Each structure stands twice: as C-alpha cells, then as structure tokens.
Structure 1
C-alpha cells in the first residue's frame, strides 16, 4: 500500500542511462532513467548487501558491481546468480517536471 509521495528531483536532473542515490526514511534507494522511463529500486544487492549504485544497466537489468548478480529494473526480480532473492521496487510519478517516489505505509 502506498503511503506518501516524496519529491526526489527534477526530471531534467537525471540523464538517460544515469542513476542517482537517495536515502529516504532509513532506506537507500536508487533512481534510474532507462529508455525515457524512471525506475526506483532498493540500492542493495540481496546476495551480499553491497550497493547496486555502481553497477551497469544492461538489457533492462542492473548488475551488481561486486559479483555480477542482476535484477530486473521493472520488477526487482533476481535474474542472475549469485542473487536468488529480488529487491524492492517503488512507484514513481512525474508531475510538473518533478519526480516523486511512493513510499509504502
């Protein structure tokens, strides 16, 4: 269930293929822009707890820079070993050129 939307940044502040880190309500989240769409994910590899923010975006997946685990940017599903558990994803909306992230209640 969605609790509240928090403003992250302006739409133009994130270029295609870039990612940006945010720390919100005790969670580390990354915002990605891929093919003109914005995605928000937990910045946490479920394999060993490392940050995903230094990873590459490859074919709709983010790759952990430490051991190569991959996660689907739309669903958060683990798609490549050594990760077997997915990561959290968050609803993102754009209003008047500003990006907002939905935090669960």
Structure 2
C-alpha cells in the first residue's frame, strides 16, 4: 500500500534518546529516537499550545513542557491528566540515511 512518504530529516541529525521538532509539508512534527527506533507525532500538545519537542523524553514517554501531561510516543496515547486527547502519530521508515514520514 503506497503512502505519501516525505523526507523529514537526515537520521544523523536526530539526537539519540531525544526528541527534535521539524516542519514537514507545513506541519509541526516531533521525531523521537527510542531504543534505536524512530517515531513521529504531531508536535503540538492536545491540551495546551505547547511544542512537545520542548518537553522531556524519558523512554517512550514525552512530557509536555506546559502542564506536564505525558504521551506514549509510539502510540500517541495520552497517559495522564490533564491530557484527555491522544496525539496523532505517523508511520516512519529509514532509507539511505534519511527519516521519511507517511503523511497520508
């Protein structure tokens, strides 16, 4: 099944065990490196207008810098109050040293 794969970042630019914000086709996206895997989600918290890439990544959890809500970066699931809405996640693939995101 073909997707709308867009190059987001050189893999070497993604910090190990951390998060970085990028713009992909005008969308604010957070890319996460967790245990050798790369994950992608919307970068804006569903609770307050804060960039998740400014938050704290611990394992699979990103903590919003505004109200300390946490999301699972692999599934997008909201894990605690004050969050009530999950974040959108995107399929990721690595090819030729670049991170691609399926934006379809």
Please indicate, yes or no, whether the TM-score normalized by the shorter chain is above 0.5: yes
Higher strand share goes to which structure? 1
Structure 2: segments with no counterpart, 5+ residues: none
Question: 1:68: which partner in 2?
Answer: 68
Q: Distance in 2 between matches of 1:50 and 1:26?
A: 17
Q: Which runs of 5+ in 1 are unaligned?
A: none
Deviates more, 1:13-22 or 1:59-68: 13-22
User: Alignment RMSD, CA only?
Assistant: 1.6
8 Å contact from structure 2 (residues 34, 59) kept in 1: no
Distance in 1 separating the partners of 2:2 and 2:102? 6
Deviations 1:25-68, CA, capped at 9 Å, x for gaps: 33210111111110101011111121111111123110001110
After TM superposition, which residue ranges in structure 1, 4 or more long, deviate above 3 angstroms?
none
TM-score, normalised via structure 1 length? 0.89
